[in-house]
Structure 1
Amino acid sequence: MPIHDVSGRTDDSSDLLFLDIDGVLHPVGMDYSFSSRFFSHLPGLEALLREFESVDVIISSDWRLAESIEQLQRYFSADTRHRIIGATPQIDPNATVLHRRQLEIQAWLDGNGRNDAEWVALDDWPSSFEAGFERLVLTDPKRAFDEDSFQELRSHFLRFAAGR
């Protein structure tokens, strides 16, 4: 597969993937401790990350509240874990907020001076984004990151690469 990258890129020029975990990297509603399906869709995502080296990952999953970035990086292969560069901030959990994940992503972009970055979110929680939100690749939580969502995410990454 071709590698889509710009030589000499800096961290500030990377494209971004805001990544949920449950319902994306594995189906929801399973016993993670004893299942071979735990993180079963990570290899497909890592294949895309290897193809599109300009994309870095920000964790938007609730897992970011219980595990550090270093702990989350350990789920990824040695050649991709360095591309997990941060996590979105948590908006007050007691506040009633529409489109929570979308707002947390915007807060990360604002806080890191990355409002001009190309980005996409990979998530299974549609109510946490505006209806029809163009930067969202929505997975079915029971199927997780399947072939359809793989191809949709790849099309976003191709668009990022074409814009360079």
Structure 2
Amino acid sequence: MNKLLFLDFDGVLHPTGFAGEDPFSRVGLLEEVLADTALGIVVSSSWRFTHSLEKLQKVLPQGIADLIVGTTGAPIVGKHPRFHEIQCYLRIHGLADWKALDDSYWEFPPHCQELIRCNPNTGIGPREIDNLQRWLSLAS
């Protein structure tokens, strides 16, 4: 596995305020683009604080769950916390080619090339899928 996708849930796999809508309503878009990839998914969502890895895998479709290789660790407080949590994970596991699907752009440095920013009101959409596909199609 040469590529890692750091995955947020709220604002990505469903709109942040998904009341009245199915949770994970946008996950089918992601599942379709990730079919037959050698990508690993690391859950960077705050859901990792309230759900075990096994539970996270059970709430997602099998096509996504099978790609999950772990979660980022303890929360980091300060400027750009999600970015620093990802960097910590990468230092420990020695991996470098990554992207993050996230709606919390303030948790990343400005102009972070690895961030595929989602609209929190809609979740993942065609623009983010196109960006993800372009990255996946690059030689590893």
TM-score past 0.5 threshold: yes
Among candidates 45, 63, 66, match of residue 30 of structure 2: 45
Among candidates 38, 42, 60, match of residue 54 of structure 1: 38
Q: Distance in 2 between matches of 1:62 and 1:136?
A: 17
- Give, in angstroms, the shift of residue 80 of structure 1: 3.4
Show the counterpart of 1:27: 15
Stretches of structure 2 that go unaligned for 5 or more consecutive residues are none
Q: Distance in 1 between matches of 2:35 and 2:61?
A: 11
Number of residue pairs matched? 140
3-state SS in 2 of match to 1:122: strand
Among candidates 101, 104, 110, match of residue 85 of structure 2: 104
Q: Distance in 2 between matches of 1:23 and 1:80?
A: 17
Percent identical residues: 33
Superposition CA RMSD, Å: 1.4
Show the counterpart of 1:120: 99
Assess if the C-alpha contact under 8 Å between 2:6 and 2:42 holds in 1. yes
- Provide TM-score, normalisation by structure 1: 0.80
Stretches of structure 1 that go unaligned for 5 or more consecutive residues are 1-12
1:13-44, Cα deviation, whole Å (9 max, x unpaired)? 3310000000000001122xx533x1011011
Show the counterpart of 2:48: 64
1:85-141, Cα deviation, whole Å (9 max, x unpaired)? 10001234xx4x111000000111111222xx3110000001100101000000010
Q: Distance in 2 between matches of 1:54 and 1:30?
A: 30
